[in-house]
Amino acid sequence: MGEQCEVLPDECWELIFKLVEHHRFASLSLVCKRFLSLTNRLVVRLLISDSTLVLLPQLFRRFPRLRTIDLSEFHGDVDALLSLIAKSGLDLQSLCVSNQKSLPIDGLRVLGSKMKNLRCLNCSKNGTLQDRDLGLIAQLFPHLEELDISYPEHGYGYSSNGLPDWSSSSRPISDAGIYSLSEKLKGLRKINLSGNYFITDKSLDYLSMNCVLLSEFFIHYCGFITQNGIALVLRRCANLNSLSISGIGLPFVNLKACLPLNKLILAHCRNFTFNGISALLCKHQSLQYLDLEAANFLTDECMCELSKFLRSLTYLNLSMCNGVTNSSFFNLTINCPFLNEVKMVGTSLGAKDFTTGLVANSRVKSLNLAQNSSLCNDTIKRVAFICPNLSLLDVSNCVNITEEGVLKVLQRCSQIRYLGINHCSGIKTLSIDFELSKLEELCVRGLNIDDNGLATIGNRCQRLLQLDLAECFNVTAKGVKEVVRKCGLLREISLKWCNNVNVDVVAWMVFSRPSLRRIVPPPGFIPTESRRNLFLRHGCLICEG
CA distances from 401 to 109, 377, 408, 471 (A): 55, 5, 11, 19
Say what the pLDDT of residue 352 is.
82
The DSSP symbol for 270 reads: B
**What is the per-residue burial (b if ≥16 Cβ within 10 Å, else e) of 214-235?**
bbbbbbbbbeebbbebbbbbbe
Residue 183 CA: distances (Å) to CA of 120, 453, 484: 18, 61, 57
How many residues make up the chain in this entry? 545
Strand pairing report for 242-246 and 341-343: unpaired
CA distance 446 to 539: 28
> What's the half-sphere exposure (Cβ side, CA atoms, 13 Å) at 440?
10
What confidence score (pLDDT) does residue 330 get? Answer: 92
In whole angstroms, what is the distance from residue 413 CA to residue 387 CA? 8
Supply the pTM of this predicted model.
0.87
pLDDT of residue 539: 86
- Tell me 470's DSSP state: T
Rounded distance, CA 451 to CA 500, Å? 11
DSSP 417-465: -EEE-TT-TT-------S--TT--EEE-TT----HHHHHHHHHH-TT--
Task: Please state, in angstroms and rounded to a whole number, the distance separating the CA atoms of residues 399 and 456.
Answer: 22
Phi/psi at 522 (5° precision): -75, 170
The rounded distance, in Å, linking the Cα atoms of 37 and 20 is: 16
- Look at residue 247 in the predicted model and tell me its pLDDT: 87
Q: How far apart are CA 117 and CA 74, in angstroms?
A: 23
The packing angle between helices 201-210 and 175-184, to 10°, is 10
Query: Given the DSSP bridges, would you call strands 120-122 and 146-148 parallel, antiparallel or unpaired?
Result: parallel
Mean pLDDT by 10 residues, the chain (545 residues): 56 63 54 62 84 85 91 95 94 96 95 94 93 95 97 62 52 94 97 96 97 96 91 91 88 62 93 90 94 96 96 98 95 95 97 77 97 96 96 98 97 97 94 94 96 96 97 97 97 97 97 95 93 89 84
What pLDDT was estimated at residue 99?
Answer: 95
Return the pLDDT at 171.
Answer: 83
The pLDDT value recorded for residue 43 is 77
DSSP string, 105-163: HHHHHHHHHH-TT--EEE-TT-TT--HHHHHHHHHH-TT--EEE--S-----EE-TTSS
Hey, which residues does 290 pair with through a beta bridge?
A: 264, 316
| Residue 96 burial by Cβ neighbours in a 10 Å radius (0-12, 13-18, 19+) | buried
The overall longest dimension of the chain from CA atoms, in Å, is: 81
Give the C-alpha distances (Å, rounded to integers) separating 346 from 79, 313, 323, 352.
43, 21, 10, 15
